[in-house]
Structure 1
Amino acid sequence: MANFSDWQDRMLRAVWRQGENLPEEVLVWMSELYDEFGDMPESEFCELWTARTFCMARAAFEVIGRSAEEETGKEVTGEEFCYIDYSRDPEQGPVGVVRIKSVEVSTPDRAEVAGAVAEGLQEFIMSHYRVVWPVCGRHGHGLHVGYARESAVWKCEGGDGGGHVVRAIDPAPPQAPGQSPSRGSGSGR
């Protein structure tokens, strides 16, 4: 039986993340999985990685989508907007792909998920309604996703000093359902 460090290295290779500095939250989640299930196979870990990402994206969409609807008065749900896409392509590798519009979410990390969901919603609102969202109240510029202190934020590129953070994208990030997902959890579809 492998030790945690060996298992973690093998699993990170399976999801193409070896050598990356992953957020502490993802590393803790991996440790909890190992504590609960031990040396699980790569295929099961990849399924859990993608299922966690998918669940977090759906939860983030609910919060960020509500914000978008309140700020623009435009609906971001319905048949026109397939908000989350989850697919698996064996030629692309063992990890499923979670997308929000054309933006891929590849790590089950709250900040990356919130940023990708925000970019996907932003893309939808611009392409479907021709509305810029969100906008900096001080400069009138459209905002861009950025990251500060391990949080996804809306940034304005206007003003002195090359821009500023306007606000957190999701001030109360959603928790992924079930801190310790059970084996064999599906894609959520």
Structure 2
Amino acid sequence: MAALPEQPDKLDIYLNHRAALVDYAAPIVGCRAQAEDVVQDAWLRFAQNPSSSLPMRQPVGYLYRIVRNLALDVQRRLGRERRPDDSQAALGQLPSTTPDPERQVSSQAQLRRLHQSVQTLPPRTREAFALHRLEGLTLQEVARRLDISVGLAHQLVRAALSHCAEQLDDH
């Protein structure tokens, strides 16, 4: 069995190819400083290779492979980190659900007119309206609470709604 030729020291391999490795990683990660970090990390992995006692057939190729894999990992990580920024930009382009000041003032005025309109209702009609529309009771529940028929509860609520609509239309 033929003996493998004497291998150069790992540190010598790294130092002899360091500049070329940085040049190789820079286009992948998009930044020379980041490429320097990738090459440093690659050196650590290359030097700590568990099979370091065994001779490597292509140590330079192995070192380039480590650099490439680490550079691709960095590129993927940076891509994931940038995505939330893109979604934030998209959110910024959505129309606001907050009404403009003019619409707010108009809505407030309508609410005041509605409140005044409800206050002018007869007490029984006002109570039926409040129970049904504000408290969310069904007409059957309103009828039971007021001790009236379901039909009368319906008439009272409908009368209140008609009255309020007329008051809002008049303004």
* TM-score computed with the length of structure 1 as normaliser: 0.30
For the pair shown, the structure with the greater C-alpha radius of gyration is 2
The answer to which structure has the higher helix fraction is: 2
* TM-score computed with the length of structure 2 as normaliser: 0.32
The answer to which structure has the higher strand fraction is: 1
